[in-house]
Structure 1
């Protein structure tokens, strides 16, 4: 009977010892097959299409992307083909990186930008509204240029109310 107890204990001990060895293992499901590395796309000379929805967001850089009315747009891929990460370059020299192993979404890009601007007051931003992204493979294949604008809505004659909605 005591030999049985020893065997049982050694089995339990060996289980305890094996458990930590699994650290660092990444599940295969987190790597999507249709998501590319931008360096690979550059080698293949593949064209990248940026989602046109980004130009219609009228999103203010220092407000959370969660505050946008159209939540469905946030789930859409930032570009096709889907990529794991992209550098977003501002004209003034700032570059932020949006990453997602399942493909960078519009939300990932806005989150990366928001992280840089969330502490800025409205009067600190000359161009506070996102106008869209531009991909210029001649200048830098591996980054999107971030375009900003002063006004959000297409109503230049009216002043924007502080309430937000018209």
Structure 2
């Protein structure tokens, strides 16, 4: 049981590195065509960028199904659970809290929330494939440790 919990938590933590790498080298690289609309104004609720969620969900589902169906590969189900958990946290932070794609009230006054929101807003100041910084989603370096003003936050996400 403890090994399974460790697999879920370890995978969750590892996924931040996977997300950073994917964001920097895939989203801002050869699949910029999927990510571009996320950095620029567009009409509609859905974005081409949402295809990345479909890709990661497919990976997670495949891991879980394989782990459930094949006894010797049961550990893959727990890794899939870690990927899924990361995806849930990512969705809540990125789509609900930062970009307000789902309207809800969440307290973002804490130091951690302020730091990762500021890093994400700095990332979105760049509307092109090159020149962006802060590619992480749930971690940001201390250099982003300044409060985000609500008025500033609204203008920086646009």
TM score, norm. by length of structure 2? 0.28
Structure with larger RCO (C-alpha < 8 A, sep 6+)? 2
- The structure with more strand, counted as a fraction of residues: 1
Q: In terms of Rg, which structure is larger?
A: 1
- The structure with more helix, counted as a fraction of residues: 2
